[in-house]
Structure 1
Amino acid sequence: MAKKKMHLTGFVLYAPAPHTMMSWIYPREKIRWHWHQNEYWRSIAQTLERGKFDMLFFADGWGGGNEASVRYAVQFPVHDPLLLISYLAGFTQKLGFAVTMSTTFYAPFMLARKLSTLDHITNGRIGWNIVTSFSNGEARNFSLDKMIPHDERYDRADEFMEVCYRLWDSWEPDALKMDMENGVFADPAKVHRINFRGKWFNCQGPLDVIPSPQGRPLLIQAGASERGREFAAQHAECVFGAGGRWFTDDLAQRALKHGRDPSKIKIIWGAQPIVAETAAEAQAIEQSVLDRIPPQVGLHLMSSHFDMDLTRYSLDTLVNDIEGGAIQGIVESFKRAEPVTLREAAQIYGRGMMPHLVGTPVQVADQMEEMLDHMGGDGFQVSPPYYAPDYYEDLVRLLIPELQRRGVFRKEYRGDTLRDYAFEE
């Protein structure tokens, strides 16, 4: 019986340090390009394509800018990945790209238009990570005094999705004629206004972009809260999971309730494989990553995500005893696990909220297979704990051949679009 294929994505921010704090610090003699240079990202994209990754996935954020984030580059600054993807598409042929865009801050027509255009530019390799955003700092950058309440954001997002679906479907499949002999570009009877009027959004339509190769982007979601999981079960094709087997089972039950086949929703877990020729070398790399992260850095990132000043608490305070938190799924994941102090949580945050899988290629491949056997799901989003071009080069050189040898990872892409790769078995 053929083994189930594992899916891998490169998980980054267009920023100095994506998810492991202080990862912008690296021996100067090893740095070929800095994070803000095109060559840095071109190298990453081409390496991931050589390694047959599904996609390069860009998280994003629109807040930040406090003293700590500026001093330490705590997910700040963050450049706009939508524009970078247009550049990277010209240097790749198969690799998919996913971009994070907020239903709270974009208008549906603008978002649907941009993603359809980008799907054309990439020849069908675009995914949309659907977020509702979370912090008051973000809200104030978009002319809101404070963030919309959590569940209301998701209610708005449901309506936002309905507008996008109608816009993407406003051209019938055979509407485009391009008939030069008779001078007919498209059949007006098959291009429709949507005339949507809802509680939060009004939109006339039709979309002014011809149908793109995928029709609509691959729909991705990462909500871990109760309301976020319900939204994912209704809309997402790919979900970035958090927690374990309970999450897999919960999402499957919710999908069935919405009349969807759970096997058609791919679950991808976060992980940071650290691989070297020997276990001792891999452990030394991990230690060097941890040694450069001051404890206050993780605490400041937590404060940003919880949207509250956690520095006013004792570091010995249990996270379970702290009320509130903007990203409810993250708060719930801490409270669902064994009790941890704020100090311990800050250490986890500083290194990235993903397990380190450390060792030789054989050892790390074993850990990855064991995680999927235990938790279910379909693969991993892989975030760089050190200089990203070198990190992904190390994975493609050492880990990918071992996964391919085991028959759990593709040797070639099948199909032409991101949706093709994401659902490859």
Structure 2
Amino acid sequence: MPTKPFHLAWFLQGSSVQAWGETWTGHIGQTWMKPELFLNVARALERACFDYILLEDSSYVGESFAGSTEIYLRNGIAVPRQDPSVVAALMTQVTSRIGIVPTFGTYAYHPYLLSRLVATLDQVSGGRIGWNAVTGSSDFAAMNFGMPGMPEHDLRYDMADEYMEVCNGLWDSWEPGAVIADRKSGVLIDPTKVHAVNYNGKHYKTRGPLNSGPAPQGRPVIAQAGGSPRGRKFAAAHADTIVVHVKGIEAMRAYRDDVHEHMIACGRKPSDCKVLYLINPILGDTMQDAQERKKRRAAIAMERIEERLAHFGKVTNIDFGKFDLDKPLPDDVTTNGHQQNLEQYRLMAKGRSIRETMASFNAVDLSVELCGTPDAVAARMGEVMQEVGGDGFLFSMPNVNRRTLAEIEDGLVPALQDRGLMRTAYEHKHFRDNLLAY
């Protein structure tokens, strides 16, 4: 078993209606406007000593299936969604240690606005904020901000590199110790420690400095999910934690090795960035119980093929409603959206029809299959980390409800802690320091 614990985080899909239409979700259709479920998530995962919660987001109503918004609206697929900055701020106020990581797209915010917003969140959280930096993938989202569509995939990352330069310059515009607050001299801020940025790049311009003051962490924790070759280079250059969706031990190890090589090429230490792999464990009182739950989940996935294709099409910009679901996806289909998702689909397909592929694609597992009792799943997670040499796992469980949280907090986490595989208390006050604690 690994000699040190690994990191755990939670990928919260959206910030409004969770698992609409599924069992154990109560009256979510009437109560989704109220933040209590999300505050419960934050409290529970902090009690469980998770490193962070990543608040996924999108800024448009999907219409990537049959050229219509109908299936998305009828089934509550990523809609309605509330602004993640508001939900994140509320989550910070009911917690004291766990990191909160809202998603903000570089296409939707000028760098000055984003830097100011994130610095403010870091202040009100006491140094526990992160930013899931995304470049955007949907033309529909771009149109909501007055653009004709998204720039080409690799160009988006070129622009994002410059965007990060601007943000880092703005966060650095306040030196440590700039706020003196000396009542005797009457000086609040040392003017010699606050500087203009005067950035004039190809894509972005800003004068600076930030007027919001310094962020407790200096800079927020940057999360990224770069899967394409260009995305990996961007993540290696800027990210403090990377979300990885690849299937199988060999692919997990290969991704980590590749991004570490990119980090070294950027002059960074691989240990400064934590690579977390997506998982969706299925827990039961017995192995048989867990297997039965897995079968039920797979059966439900089969019944909802069109809904799942609509969701998949939303992130890949592919309208699967145009194809015969009982035939393979044509080879000439490409995407300007999430390229790794399409690549993973093709690896899974192996000539099978769209319907057959989606029956197994992302239905019951993600990077590795985890199914069994809490102790058995904990043991397998330890084995996987030992084989991969990775840093931890990101739970991606779309059916979030209080039952799900209890199974993780009161079932799986104690089993992991008993094996010495995760912390039993936070080491530090700031998010980044806890990420770098081991």
TM-score bracket relative to the smaller structure? over 0.9
Q: CA deviation at 1:405?
A: 0.7
**Hey, what's the Cα distance between the residues in 2 that align with 1:200 and 1:353?**
40
**Hey, what's the Cα distance between the residues in 2 that align with 1:230 and 1:353?**
27
Note the 1:58-97 alignment, pairs <5 A. Answer: 58-65=55-62, 66-97=69-100
Residues 248, 61 of structure 1: CA spacing in aligned structure 2 closer, same or farther, 3 A cutoff? same
**Hey, what's the Cα distance between the residues in 2 that align with 1:116 and 1:100?**
14
Residue 232 of structure 1 corresponds to 235
Q: Residue type of the partner of 1:424?
A: A
**Hey, what's the Cα distance between the residues in 1 that align with 2:183 and 2:389?**
53
DSSP 3-state at the match of 1:285:
helix
Residues 305, 102 of structure 1: CA spacing in aligned structure 2 closer, same or farther, 3 A cutoff? same
Residues 337, 260 of structure 1: CA spacing in aligned structure 2 closer, same or farther, 3 A cutoff? farther
Q: CA deviation at 1:344?
A: 3.5
**Hey, what's the Cα distance between the residues in 2 that align with 1:159 and 1:15?**
32
CA contact (8 A) 1:33 1:39 kept: no
Normalising by the residue count of structure 1, what TM-score does the alignment of the two structures yield?
Answer: 0.93
Residue 249 of structure 2 corresponds to none
**Hey, what's the Cα distance between the residues in 2 that align with 1:397 and 1:206?**
46
DSSP 3-state at the match of 1:292:
helix
Residues 46, 242 of structure 1: CA spacing in aligned structure 2 closer, same or farther, 3 A cutoff? same
Residue 331 of structure 1 corresponds to 342
Determine what percentage of the aligned residue pairs are the same residue.
34
Match of 1:376 among 381, 385, 389: 389
Structure 1 residue 8 corresponds to structure 2 residue 18 = no
Residues 220, 148 of structure 1: CA spacing in aligned structure 2 closer, same or farther, 3 A cutoff? same
CA contact (8 A) 1:319 1:334 kept: no
Residues 387, 284 of structure 1: CA spacing in aligned structure 2 closer, same or farther, 3 A cutoff? farther
- Consecutive unaligned residues of structure 1, counting only runs of 5 or more, are none
- Listed one character per residue, the Cα deviations across residues 146-197 of structure 1 (whole Å, up to 9, x for unaligned) are 1111111111100100000110111111222112222211121221111110
**Hey, what's the Cα distance between the residues in 2 that align with 1:37 and 1:348?**
34
- Listed one character per residue, the Cα deviations across residues 349-382 of structure 1 (whole Å, up to 9, x for unaligned) are 5737725521101221122123223333211111
**Hey, what's the Cα distance between the residues in 1 that align with 2:145 and 2:25?**
38
Residue 46 of structure 1 corresponds to 43
DSSP 3-state at the match of 1:232:
helix
**Hey, what's the Cα distance between the residues in 1 that align with 2:17 and 2:361?**
16
Structure 1 residue 203 corresponds to structure 2 residue 200 = no
- Consecutive unaligned residues of structure 2, counting only runs of 5 or more, are 63-68, 247-251
Q: CA deviation at 1:338?
A: 6.3
Residue 289 of structure 1 corresponds to 297
Of 303-312 and 232-241, deviating more is 303-312
Note the 1:105-254 alignment, pairs <5 A. Answer: 105-243=108-246, 244-254=252-262
DSSP 3-state at the match of 1:4:
coil
**Hey, what's the Cα distance between the residues in 1 that align with 2:348 and 2:114?**
37
**Hey, what's the Cα distance between the residues in 1 that align with 2:361 and 2:307?**
9
DSSP 3-state at the match of 2:203:
coil
Residue 66 of structure 2 corresponds to none
CA contact (8 A) 1:238 1:268 kept: yes
CA contact (8 A) 2:20 2:28 kept: no
DSSP 3-state at the match of 1:351:
coil
Residues 161, 49 of structure 1: CA spacing in aligned structure 2 closer, same or farther, 3 A cutoff? same
CA contact (8 A) 2:2 2:382 kept: no
Q: Residue type of the partner of 1:347?
A: A
Q: CA deviation at 1:88?
A: 1.8
Q: How many residues align?
A: 421
Q: Residue type of the partner of 2:205?
A: N
**Hey, what's the Cα distance between the residues in 1 that align with 2:195 and 2:357?**
52
Q: CA deviation at 1:30?
A: 9.1
CA contact (8 A) 1:384 1:392 kept: no
Q: Residue type of the partner of 1:55?
A: Y
Residues 28, 98 of structure 1: CA spacing in aligned structure 2 closer, same or farther, 3 A cutoff? closer
- Listed one character per residue, the Cα deviations across residues 90-146 of structure 1 (whole Å, up to 9, x for unaligned) are 211111100111112210000000110000111011111110010111111111111
DSSP 3-state at the match of 1:189:
helix
**Hey, what's the Cα distance between the residues in 1 that align with 2:61 and 2:292?**
32
Across the aligned residues of Structure 1 and Structure 2, the Cα RMSD in angstroms comes to 2.2
Residue 313 of structure 1 corresponds to 323
CA contact (8 A) 1:297 1:350 kept: no
DSSP 3-state at the match of 1:105:
coil
CA contact (8 A) 1:64 1:304 kept: no
Q: Residue type of the partner of 2:85?
A: L
**Hey, what's the Cα distance between the residues in 2 that align with 1:155 and 1:106?**
16
**Hey, what's the Cα distance between the residues in 2 that align with 1:338 and 1:54?**
34
**Hey, what's the Cα distance between the residues in 1 that align with 2:291 and 2:2?**
33
Residue 304 of structure 1 corresponds to 314
Of 66-75 and 408-417, deviating more is 66-75
Residue 347 of structure 1 corresponds to 359
- Listed one character per residue, the Cα deviations across residues 201-220 of structure 1 (whole Å, up to 9, x for unaligned) are 11000011221210111011
DSSP 3-state at the match of 1:321:
coil
Residues 28, 228 of structure 1: CA spacing in aligned structure 2 closer, same or farther, 3 A cutoff? closer
DSSP 3-state at the match of 2:17:
coil
Q: Residue type of the partner of 1:5?
A: P
**Hey, what's the Cα distance between the residues in 2 that align with 1:68 and 1:6?**
39
CA contact (8 A) 1:276 1:398 kept: no
Residues 367, 216 of structure 1: CA spacing in aligned structure 2 closer, same or farther, 3 A cutoff? same
CA contact (8 A) 1:101 1:128 kept: yes
Q: CA deviation at 1:283?
A: 2.6
Q: Residue type of the partner of 1:15?
A: S
**Hey, what's the Cα distance between the residues in 2 that align with 1:353 and 1:207?**
43
Q: CA deviation at 1:232?
A: 0.6
Q: Residue type of the partner of 2:410?
A: R
Match of 1:26 among 19, 23, 26: 23
Residues 376, 152 of structure 1: CA spacing in aligned structure 2 closer, same or farther, 3 A cutoff? same
